[in-house]
Amino acid sequence: MLEKIHSPRDLEGMNYIQLEQLSAEIRKELISTVSSNGGHLASNLGVVELTLALHRVFHMPEDKLIFDVGHQSYVHKMITGRFDQFSSLRTYGGIAGFPKRSESEYDCFETGHASTAISAALGIARARDYLGQKYEVIAMVGDGALTGGMCYEALNDAGNSGTKMIVILNDNEMSIAPNVGALSKYLTNLRISAGCQSAKRKVRHLNAIPIIGRPLYRVIHGCKKLLRTIFVRDEQLGFFVALGFEYFGPINGHDLQAMENAFRKAKMYKGPCVIQVLTKKGYGYNQAEERPEAFHES
């Protein structure tokens, strides 16, 4: 199936069973090529469904997709007419390991990973509005990128101006190494995971403890809600909402249909919005899932 994908438009007529098969083929090609040439394996395995969903809902290259972490663009390259060249990834004369404008019209901004995507997207969106043009601008940033102050300057500016743009927050709990710091801890409180759900169930069981159980549950639940409120929409007090963004999420980053529904809603919104997508580095390859830091660059 992958050999038949010459542009993102070839994805539009595919059903979800076919897309699941295509995702498996993409992962197989990622593992094969990166094992031979080196590159960033775990991060790209984690964004297969996310990249497919973006290209099925938006219409690149008319719409502009800006990668903050450029080494997560391998899947993007495969489905934008470069699959035949993908085996030359990161080799002399071959295709680049990052977006490259001279390589494809689908690469609109050259970037590594420096927290620049939201600023670049805001500039492109303002140029669009100034020229009276109509297209979507999407910045795909990782949670690790939010440790860079440049992101917040752009978020503040975009929210204040109300410029229409979409920020995809690819939340995989890691950058090159596991994220640390206060922001990472806050984002963790937003994640829907088996561990989180298990912890919630255990906290609820505190209610059964005589005398101290119910007061203790209220304290823990209240603290969790306070932390969550800082970054998401809770009674319209969330961090992104306070900056002027609409917030969507969190969305399962390996559920194509759920992401497509969220992206379509975001397209209809008239101002800036953030969509938090939860992905797992190394998804679909057990060794990379268990030790994603070891497969950051193979």
Q: Count the Cβ atoms, other than its own, within 10 Å of residue 175.
A: 20
Q: Report pLDDT digits (tens) over 220-269.
A: 555 554 444 444 444 434 678 888 888 887 888 899 999 999 999 999 99
Model pLDDT for residues 271-282, shown as the tens digit of each residue: 999 998 988 877
Q: What CA–CA distance (Å, rounded) separates 154 from 65? A: 16
Q: What is the mean pLDDT of the chain?
A: 79
- Render pLDDT for 181-196 as a digit per residue (tens, 0 to 9): 444 444 444 443 344 4
pLDDT for the residue numbered 173: 60
Which portions of the chain are predicted below pLDDT 50? 174-201, 203, 225-237, 288-289, 292-298
Token pair in block for residue 5: 């994908």
Residue 75 and residue 205: Cα distance in Å, rounded?
44
Residue whose pair of structure tokens reads 């060794």 in the numeric block = 287
Q: Which residues neighbour 175 within 8 Å (Cβ) at sequence distance 6 or greater?
A: 69, 113, 142, 143, 144, 145, 147
